[in-house]
Amino acid sequence: MAKALGQRRLGTVLEAVILEMLDEARQAYPRIQEPEDSEGLHDFRVALRRLRSTIKEFGDQPGFAIDKALLRQLTALARATNDARDGEVMLAWLDSVAKTTGAPERGAIGWWRERLAAQVEQEYASIDASVAGFPLLDTRLREAAGKAALKDKGKDKDSKKKDKNKDKKKGSNKAGKEPRFGDASAQVLARLGEGWLEELAAVKGREEEETLHRPRITGKRLRYLLRPWREQGEVFAELEEELKTFQDAFGDLHDDLVRGDVLTTAALLHTEEETLDRLEAALEQASPRATAPRHLRGFMLLHAHHEAQTEQNLKRVQALCRKPRLERLEARINEAVTLMKAPQ
């Protein structure tokens, strides 16, 4: 009879988890350059993030180690796709806003979209070279995960031959014995959960943007950690759903905050471009007239729309971070930690 997830050795489970994520990245990889597939790059990036997070969270556990050079390559690969994905997200927002706004905003959107689409196309053209190393990295990571699991099995056999009276303090792993996946997961969940709750309690307003950024990153790490546990009971499924609620809210607000700076830059670029054109035209006119840039009003209205959306999403985040909800969330995390450590 197969062992329950929590009772299985860490290296054995992590090999399966890593291979699953590599399979997802491998499936998304050829879709990156398919024009009709707008989610290919997104799926590839998500698989890489989950993979990197898993390796980092469990990297200090006895019996499991992935070469840090491979982890650095994984990080560099993910970063190489940042600009293209950011451009895609902005284009999607512009298309969405264009459906519900007036002619001035649509004029500004049209001007901006034309330039942004060309920029994204250039980013995609450079992606091929940036991600060309993925197949080799994929092979090396599969080999590394397999070696870690094989080493785990060898240690498990050796440990049975050792003296059972060996001094082992409760909660310590000084002997270097491979921990159970449940114990290792509980340790990571307790650490990340405590830090995340502190970050959520510290959430302020837009004047302290860093307090709005940290919980988003930690929340992602927690969701990646819980993914193998989704089928292990309602506690884990409900906790992951709660994490998704927080992640969606913080993610939307993060996009708003990033978009604000980009929107300002686009408006300034439009104003500069229009001003230079009119200065040149003025040289050929006997009585040049000073008029505002064509789409300045459209950009002003877009900015107002964006600000209203940002404030709405900020209130949504702040509502999630109220003390009663955080207390319930803490209880759920503690319950999940206990279940991970319990014999199954």
Report residue 296 as tokens. Answer: 């300045």
Count how many domains the chain has: 2
Helix 82-98 to helix 40-58 angle (10° resolution) is: 130
Q: Among residues 100, 131, 151, which one ends one of the domains?
A: 151
* Three-state SS at 202: coil
**279 with 328, same domain?**
yes
Report residue 12 as tokens. Answer: 């054995």
Residue 252 falls within a domain, yes or no? yes
**210 with 112, same domain?**
no
**254 with 143, same domain?**
no
Q: Annotate 227-239 with three-state secondary structure.
A: HHHCCCCHHHHHH
pTM of the model: 0.84
**101 with 2, same domain?**
yes
**225 with 339, same domain?**
yes
Residue 288: predicted pLDDT:
66
Residue 171 falls within a domain, yes or no? no
Q: What is the pLDDT of residues 240-265, one digit of tens each?
A: 999 999 999 999 999 999 999 999 99
Q: What is the pLDDT of residues 289-321, one digit of tens each?
A: 667 788 999 999 999 999 999 999 999 999 999
Residue 255: predicted pLDDT:
94
Residue 207: predicted pLDDT:
81
Rounded Cα–Cα distance for residues 236 and 230 (Å)? 6
Exposure b/e, 78-106, CB count within 10 A at least 16 = b: bebbebbbbbbebbebbeebeeebeebbb
**130 with 188, same domain?**
no
Residue 163 falls within a domain, yes or no? no
Residue 2 falls within a domain, yes or no? yes
Angular region, 176: left φ>0, alpha ψ -120 to 50, beta rest: left
Residue 169 falls within a domain, yes or no? no
* Direct distance between the N- and C-terminal alpha carbons of the chain, in angstroms, rounded to an integer: 13
Question: Are the C-beta atoms of 127 and 32 separated by less than 8 Å?
Answer: yes
Residue 173 falls within a domain, yes or no? no
Q: What is the pLDDT of residues 14-45, one digit of tens each?
A: 999 999 999 999 999 999 888 778 789 999 99
Rounded Cα–Cα distance for residues 36 and 59 (Å)? 38
Residue 207 falls within a domain, yes or no? yes
Q: Among residues 102, 134, 151, which one ends one of the domains?
A: 151
Regions in the chain scoring below 50 on pLDDT = 1-2, 156-175
**136 with 241, same domain?**
no
Residue 176: predicted pLDDT:
56
CB-count burial class (<10 Å; 0-12, 13-18, 19+) for 55: buried
**336 with 231, same domain?**
yes
Rounded Cα–Cα distance for residues 15 and 153 (Å)? 12
Question: Are the C-beta atoms of 123 and 82 separated by less than 8 Å?
Answer: no
For 133, the domain range is 1-151
Rounded Cα–Cα distance for residues 265 and 288 (Å)? 27
Helix 234-282 to helix 103-131 angle (10° resolution) is: 110
Residue 174 falls within a domain, yes or no? no
What does the DSSP 8-state code read for residue 118? H
Q: Which of 270, 265, 260, 261 is nearest to 297 (CA)?
A: 270
Residue 63: predicted pLDDT:
66
**68 with 140, same domain?**
yes
**143 with 227, same domain?**
no
**1 with 74, same domain?**
yes
**120 with 193, same domain?**
no
Question: Are the C-beta atoms of 233 and 221 separated by less than 8 Å?
Answer: no
